[in-house]
Amino acid sequence: MTQLRVLVEATQPRIYHTSVQKPIAQTLQRISQCTKDGQLQLLVCVLPSHNQAVYGEIKRVAWVQLGIQTQCVLMQRVQGGHRPKLLEHLALKINTKLGGFTAEPLLPDQPQATTMIVSADVCHTTEARISVASIVWSIDLQAQRFAGSVVQHPEHQEIIENMDAIIRHALRSFYQHTRKKPLRILYFRDGVSDSQLEHVKQVELGAIIRGCALVEPSFRPEITVVIARKRHFARFMLPKANCSLGTVVMQMAHPQILSFYLIAHYAQRGVAKPVYFMVLHDEVFSSSDSLDQLYQLTYRLCFAYPIVTRAVTMPASLYYAHRLSGKGRMQINCPFDDLSRSLANSTNAKPATTQDNLHLVPVHEKLADT
């Protein structure tokens, strides 16, 4: 096993004292200009209290205007002496934000061949009448590093429309980092009810196919769409113990769709709650032997979430999509980039009346692939 570590060159970091009552944008701008080379990588903010408005403004300014990674922590948590678990958690987060990783999932041989992992989630805000959707995609062959985009669309709309331009950008990003075109796309989608399954298959799967055609008319990778669902009441256990990690249960599958339950994480208390996966469309794992590879791949991707030291309940890309939706919620009060103009130039674009609903949340170019 190769031992990796984070090299911290700033042994004496500069400390600035300020008040949250002052304009946060001006304060962060002034701090970012105080480094010798003007290349501030990380800003650790110790906050006096849990204030969502202050936290959101710090993230917005750093994410959109300055291109600086930030790590916020409450004052009450850093006071009171040495706290190993807190420091470990902060170190894992900082390591990830600076481009590091803590685990490399051992992917099955067949799906690993130029497979791009794509995940999406939709968050419905209460602050404004909009919904925020996030799409993330892998930018390496090991499914460790991901990039993503956030879009806003009308309130309570669960289906992500006009995402073909985002898929085109994702494919170009994947090729830029790997110098290979993905032969397979594995699309994980969270938060879809039974009544919306067919709509997702028609709209979002169609957008992925169109996005591939926007890159190259003859480009058509194999695509598999998997729906992940956490809200259910199914539990599985042995007579005197929890099921082993990686247990797959298929007996209670959907009557018309290939589906399975996966127990990927360790339950510290009680019974582990599995995640319910439905294979809505499959071109990659069509044979019975390949289905085992789907189960293995889904399980192993649960070990790729770098801010924890154990497996999580779902593939890490779904957690990335959920967290990116949360970031998008913090940006709803700032101007949005008009991606829909690029869609209007494509022959497969939808009418302009629907394109007005698609806008990219802006992000600084330094953080575009983080």
Q: Is there a domain that residue 283 lies in?
A: yes
The answer on pLDDT for 111 being more than 70 is no
| 204 and 184 fall within a common domain | yes
State the pLDDT at residue 223.
Answer: 96
User: Which of 97, 126, 159 is at the close of a domain?
Assistant: 97
Strand partners, 153: 131
Q: Is there a domain that residue 17 lies in?
A: no
Q: Is there a domain that residue 259 lies in?
A: yes
Amino acid (one-letter) located at 324: L
| 245 and 356 fall within a common domain | yes
CATH value at residue 306: 3.30.420.10
| 257 and 130 fall within a common domain | yes
| 138 and 77 fall within a common domain | no
| 302 and 262 fall within a common domain | yes
Task: State pLDDT tens for residues 219-253.
Answer: 999 999 999 998 888 888 888 888 888 889 886 65
DSSP-derived pairing of the beta strands 115-124 and 130-138: antiparallel
- Rounded mean pLDDT, 149-153: 84
Q: Is there a domain that residue 251 lies in?
A: yes
| 59 and 126 fall within a common domain | no
- How many angstroms separate the CA atoms of 100 and 3, rounded? 12
The answer on pLDDT for 141 being more than 70 is yes
The answer on pLDDT for 168 being more than 80 is yes
The answer on pLDDT for 195 being more than 60 is yes
CATH value at residue 53: 3.40.50.2300
| 189 and 326 fall within a common domain | yes
| 85 and 182 fall within a common domain | no
Encoding tokens for residue 307? 């801010």
Residue with tokens 């995609």: 137
The answer on pLDDT for 341 being more than 60 is no
| 137 and 253 fall within a common domain | yes
The answer on pLDDT for 342 being more than 50 is no
Q: Which of the residue ranges 143-152, 307-316, 328-337 would you say has the lowest mean pLDDT?
A: 328-337
Our count of domains for the chain comes to 2
In terms of pLDDT, which residue wins out, 40 or 12?
Answer: 40
Q: Quote the pTM value.
A: 0.85
Q: Which of 327, 363, 325, 367 is nearest to 120 (CA)?
A: 325
Distance set, CA 64 to CA 106, 292, 327, 336 (Å): 34, 42, 11, 11
Q: Which of the residue ranges 70-79, 244-253, 279-288, 336-345 would you say has the lowest mean pLDDT?
A: 336-345
Under the banding of pLDDT at 50, 70 and 90, the label for residue 38 is low
* Domain enclosing residue 342, as ranges: 109-367
| 79 and 155 fall within a common domain | no
| 315 and 229 fall within a common domain | yes
State the pLDDT at residue 320.
Answer: 94
| 121 and 202 fall within a common domain | yes
